[in-house]
Amino acid sequence: MLLSIALRNLLRQRTRSLLTLASIALGVASIMLANGFIDDVLWQLREATIRSQLGHLQVFAPGFLDEGRREPLSHTVADAQGAVARLQTIPGVATVARRLGFSGLLSNGRSDLAVIVEGIEPAAEAQIGTALTIASGKDLVTKDRNAITVGEGVAAALRLRVGDPVTLLASTKDGALNTLDARLSGVFRSPFKDYDARAIRISLADAQEVAGVDSVNTLVVLLQPDRSVDDALGAARDLLPSARYDVRPWTDLADFYQGVEALYRRQFLVLVMIVSVMVMLGVANSITMSLHERQGEFGTVRALGYRPDDVFAQIVTESVVLGSIAAAVGIALGVLLASGISAIGIEMPPPPNSDIGYTAKIRLSLSNVLIAAATAFIASVAGSIVPARRLARMPIVDALRHAI
């Protein structure tokens, strides 16, 4: 009967209930849209990060991440072929690519540029690097030798064009200088300007020859869509003993993504707090007005033998009902608006560290919807607590002075 009475009381004051409901529902919808937008921006950044450089998991020799930048050739993955074979047994693994990375000097015969060299397996990388597009020329293929692709920034710095001869100068593992004469096969563009300004790619065989090693220092694992990174990480760590292998998820390696995510999430938290306060104040105002008019009613309820807690429960139940209906309406409104906005798309300028703009959408997920609904629901219930407590404890004779 408590619920029934609550519903009837809300219907009794239709206009006020509708206005309060609308404000809560708008709060829900705005949280959903804001969170959905941020989720989409982060999802696009995540995909760009994974599918241009990092894959979902990477495997290194222990110590590579700490000392490998200084001596990359001294921290190679033991039994890389065996490790690849084991990683490929993990359910959901799409591909595993081997890489040999080190630094070098790229020359066009007139000037030099310090670069990061990535020796890659073109076939496997073609699957991983879907966010890495070829701006001119063509990408590396498996049979290519003495061919090189460079980032747009490198090409611009050295004024290179497709087909130009270049020379790569690098130190071997033993410290000797070695060179690779190659021809520019293509210019690539990734979502990250920093990467394009320093990265060049050659075949793994060429890289091993220049570096004087027959091993690799990174294994990159790409998962099939919607596979759990955590599950794959756990399985990989089970298969590859930590004494010989350091398995890392992409998030450990994506400092930029982590920074952006932390920034957006903090902004979202502030937004949620603002919306919560607005909903709370709106509900508290509406309930205070309503309760002021109904003091006589609650005085009667108390006179009939109901306890202060019963009155409190009755008032809060009305807020629970209102909050629940408003949350449902807000979800419906949010889904509707999200679908409309996503259908049109939001044209976004290139983010920092990128030259590529993109079209953002509103990405809705169950957690997004639940956060929005729960925030508004909790705020609406919280908004009723203070006025409910005040009225529940009001002396009965004072309450009864007001007519019903």
Partner 1 sequence: MQSDMPLLLRIESVGKTYQLGVQKVAALRHVNLNIEEGAFIAIAGPSGSGKSTLLNIIGLIDTPSTGRLLIDDCEVSGRSPDELAALRARTIGFVFQTFNLLPVLTAEENVEYPLLQFRELSRRERRERVAYYLDMVRLSHHARHRPNQLSGGQRQRVAIARALATHPRVVLADEPTANLDHRTGSRILRLMRQINRNHGTTFIFSTHDPRVLEIADRRVDLEDGMIARLGVRSGDEWTYAVDRAWSGEAPSTAAGRSRMDHESTFSKLSSMLGMPSEKK
165 part of the interface to partner 1, by CB under 8 A: no
Q: Which is nearer to partner 1, 207 or 400 (CB)?
A: 400
Q: Which is nearer to partner 1, 128 or 394 (CB)?
A: 394
Least distance from C-beta 309 to partner 1, angstroms? 8
Choice from 146, 165, 306, 371 touching partner 1 (CB under 8 A) = 306
Phi and psi at residue 366, in whole multiples of 5°?
A: -60, -40
156 part of the interface to partner 1, by CB under 8 A: no
390 part of the interface to partner 1, by CB under 8 A: no
Choice from 77, 124, 301, 360 touching partner 1 (CB under 8 A) = 301
3 part of the interface to partner 1, by CB under 8 A: no
* Distance between CA atoms of residues 197 and 157, nearest Å: 8
Least distance from C-beta 329 to partner 1, angstroms? 22
Q: How would you classify the pairing of strands 112-120 and 199-203?
A: parallel
* Distance between CA atoms of residues 128 and 119, nearest Å: 14
Choice from 123, 263, 270, 397 touching partner 1 (CB under 8 A) = 397
403 part of the interface to partner 1, by CB under 8 A: yes
Q: Which is nearer to partner 1, 145 or 307 (CB)?
A: 307
Query: Nearest CA to 17 among 27, 6, 28?
Result: 6
Q: Which is nearer to partner 1, 11 or 344 (CB)?
A: 11
360 part of the interface to partner 1, by CB under 8 A: no
- Spacing of C-alpha 289 from chain mean position: 43
User: Which residues is 149 bridged to in the sheet?
Assistant: 186, 201
Exposed (0-12), middle (13-18) or buried (19+): which is 243, by Cβ within 10 Å? exposed
Q: How would you classify the pairing of strands 218-223 and 246-249?
A: unpaired
* Distance between CA atoms of residues 118 and 240, nearest Å: 24
Choice from 107, 271, 296, 325 touching partner 1 (CB under 8 A) = 296
| 177's tokens | 């200088």
Contacts with partner 1 in 203-232 (CB under 8 A)? none
Type of residue found at 225: P
Choice from 226, 230, 255, 309 touching partner 1 (CB under 8 A) = 309
Least distance from C-beta 278 to partner 1, angstroms? 29
292 part of the interface to partner 1, by CB under 8 A: no
* Distance between CA atoms of residues 151 and 208, nearest Å: 21
| 7's tokens | 């519903």
404 part of the interface to partner 1, by CB under 8 A: yes
- Spacing of C-alpha 150 from chain mean position: 28
Binding site for partner 1 (CB under 8 A): 1, 5, 8-9, 11-12, 296-297, 300-310, 395-397, 400, 403-404
